[in-house]
Each structure stands twice: as structure tokens, then as C-alpha cells.
Amino acid sequence: MRILEPYKDYFWEFYSPLNHKVKDKVDYVLQIVISVQKISAKFFKHLEDEIYEIRIEVGSDIYRIFTFFDDNKLVILLHGFQKKTQKTPRNEIERAKILRSDYYANKESKNNK
């Protein structure tokens, strides 16, 4: 079983304005991420540099939530977006890397206090 932890408010800023149907599907996919030992590539895919995307489809709409692992079982949820093109935008991947660096910098400063 994995633990999900949103980092700051980035995930909630993505999630809160979604309609009820999309939120239900996000909740369903996050439950799979939490509980399934080997997650299907339909729902979870490695992008690069230990950044992963949680993949959600509702009808013809496609959503992505960026994430990474900490301590092999904690999945840190970063930001999400509605995908408009076939390819994941480079700026979204770079943003995920920056947020991950920020997460580790904050974690390190808390550990040093």
C-alpha cells in the first residue's frame, strides 16, 4: 500500500475546480495508485528523471497529475493539468522537476531544524 501526499496546494489547485464526474475518476485512479502492487501503464507512466504521471481519461478529456516517489512508498502529488495535445508539454515536466527540487529542499531544511 502506498501513501499519497499532496505537496503544498498544487494538487488541490488542479483538483478543486474539476466537475464531479472528473473528480470521481481522479479519486478512482488515485485509489488504484494507492492499492495496486503493479499499476497499469494506462494509469501510471514514468516520464523522465524519476518523474511520473498519473493518467486519467474522462470521455475525450485527458488529465495528468505529476508525481514522484519518496522512500519507495510515498507518492508525492505535484500539479496536474488537462492535456490538450498528444505529447506531454515540456514546460509541465520541467515544472514538476522544479516542484520536486523544492520539496526536497523544504524536507532537508525541516530535518536540519
By CB neighbour count within 10 A (0-12 exposed, 13-18 middle, 19+ buried), where does 63 fall? Answer: buried
Instruction: Quote the pLDDT of residue 74.
Output: 84
- Tell whether the model's pLDDT for residue 5 goes beyond 80: yes
Mean pLDDT confidence for 43-58: 95
- Tell whether the model's pLDDT for residue 86 goes beyond 80: yes
pLDDT, tens digit, for every residue of 88-107?
Answer: 899 999 999 999 999 999 98
Domains along the chain with CATH numbers: 3-111 (3.30.2310.20)
* Averaged confidence pLDDT in the chain: 93
DSSP H helical ranges for 36-89: none
Instruction: Quote the pLDDT of residue 107.
Output: 87
* CA–CA gap between residue 26 and residue 65 (Å, rounded): 9
Mean pLDDT confidence for 8-29: 97
- Residue 108 — very low, low, confident or very high, per pLDDT cuts 50/70/90? confident
Q: How many residues are given for the chain?
A: 113
- Residue 72 — very low, low, confident or very high, per pLDDT cuts 50/70/90? confident
Instruction: Quote the pLDDT of residue 76.
Output: 93
Q: What is the pTM of this model?
A: 0.91
